Amino acid sequence: MSHPMRLIMRRIPATAAGLLLLLSVGWLFAAAAEVPVSVIDQTQKSVYLVQGQKEYGRYSCTGFLIADQLVLTAAHCTRGESMTVAGLAVHATVADDYYDLALLTVPIHGTPLLFREAPVVRFEALAAFGYAHGWTRITVAHVQVYHIDLIPGEGMRPGILVRPGHIGGMSGGPLIDEQGLVVGIIQASNADLGYGVGVTLIRAFLVGLL
């Protein structure tokens, strides 16, 4: 019996939805902006489909290259077996549930994405990359920073909230600024808000791994 593809995405608890009321005025007056198409075209070459096997069948997430043969993704995307990135077998996995981050060793040679030094600012325009709905073609969403260093639920770390929310399957994908630099990673979402830790915590996880 065949099983449908499952889309992996943690949920932001309903309590975080109250932020929508508290911050809605600022959102209405935020200036519209978008990451340039040229930056998107270059970035998506370094973003890959991550898949694994669980008892219910195959599931899908996203990851992105940060060094030769090293792909960063969300830890909750690595809890299956027979993991692949872009169809290639994963040779090794280092996962940390505290940060919800994982580093995969895969024989991929490409252009790594670089991390930004400066923190994000509220209402900054970003682009979110991921394999939404388990599609084999990448989805890119224009989002804006809604809140910074917020803990939306128990067991989550201070992270970046963006609007609108992400789509299932995009977990592990990068958040990119207008210069093409990584400012965060996609880890959870509800209908209105997307969440993920920023570069400071990503770097903390990567200490000793690169």
Q: Find the length of the chain.
A: 210
Burial (Cβ within 10 Å: 0-12, 13-18, ≥19) of residue 116: middle
* 5: in domain: no
Per-residue pLDDT at 19:
45
The pLDDT score that the predictor gives to residue 149 is 93
pTM: 0.87
Q: Measuring CA to CA, which residue among 137, 148, 157 is closest to residue 193?
A: 148
Please count the structural domains in the chain. Answer: 2
CATH number at residue 156: 2.40.10.10
Q: What pLDDT is attached to residue 182?
A: 98
Residues 172, 146 within the same domain: yes
185 in the same domain as 90: no
4 in any annotated domain: no
- Which residues does the chain have with pLDDT short of 50? 1-7, 16-29, 31
pLDDT of 13: 61
91 and 33 within one domain: no
Domain span including residue 76 = 48-105
pLDDT of the residue at 9: 58
Are 173 and 186 in contact by the 8 Å Cβ rule? The answer is yes
How confident is the model at residue 1, as a pLDDT? Answer: 38
